Every structure is written in structure tokens, then in C-alpha cells.
Structure 1
Amino acid sequence: MSFDSKLPSTGEGVDPELQGFIQMETQRAQFQGQVHKLTDLCWDQCVDKPRDKLDSRTETCMSNCVERFIDTSLSIATRFQKILQGN
């Protein structure tokens, strides 16, 4: 008997608490991935060279970049939700 045959198939015999934990950790990882993507995008867009602190132009650029990224992400998510609902 191989090890694989001892594993339960998806959803069968798996502790619901463990499933919830895995789902929560997956969502957390996805969120962290989005934060890293946002940071990279806005950093590349706004910071021409690293300094010991942000000047007002860089700070404003970062703020605007983050706001536009969030707005765009929400807009895309809303559009996909409407498509899935058949509207």
C-alpha cells in the first residue's frame, strides 16, 4: 500500500478546523502577495533613489499610487463579480 492511498481525498475526513485554518492561511498569503506587489510597483514608480527619509513628492506619489492600486483592484473585483452573476 502506497503512502498516497492513505491520504483522504479532497474534503473527506479532513478536520473542519484544519480546513478553516488552511483557508485562512491561504488568504493571508494571497494578501501578503498583493502587498508585496503593491510595494514593488509603487516603489519603482515613485522612488528614484533611496534616501534616509521620504520627501514630500515621494510621499505624495506613494500615497496616490496605493490609492489608485486599491481603487483599480476593487473595480476589477466588482466587475468580475458582476460577470459571475451574469450581469
Structure 2
Amino acid sequence: MPPLSCPSSWKTLVAPWTPSPRLDNRVLDLRTPVNQAIFRVQSQVCSLFQQYLDQHRFIEIHTPKIQGAATESGARVFKLA
């Protein structure tokens, strides 16, 4: 069986993957058109899901989070049972 390949027109949609430079400069990498398009799709999916829940009278709540390790804010650590 031959290996799978995508049409040549799709290759422009795929970001080139060279891990080291991209990860070393992640702030710049996130600004590429491909990554921006991914963020826009994610944002739209979340927005549509939230609209659906709102239309069906769901209630959004924000609960406090308990962590068993130190946080960035410098809060004291306590044991979790």
C-alpha cells in the first residue's frame, strides 16, 4: 500500500515544522497566519457552544480551584486529604 499524501494545494495550509527555532520563539510563532487561523476556529467553536448553552438556559459558574502545590501568586501550600 502506498503512503498517504495530501494534495499539493494543501501544503500551503500546513505550517513548516522545525521544532527548535519555533519553540524557542513561541511568541512570534503564535502570530503566524496558520496559528492565528487555528485560534479563530477555536474561538468560534467556543462561542457557538456558549450561545447554545445560553439559549437552553444553562448557567455558567466559576468555581474556586484548590491546588496541592504552590501557585504563581505565592499563596501558602497546604495538604490535600
With normalisation by structure 1, the TM-score equals: 0.36
TM-score, length-scaled by structure 2: 0.38
Structure of greater relative contact order (alpha carbons < 8 Å, 6+ residues apart) = 1
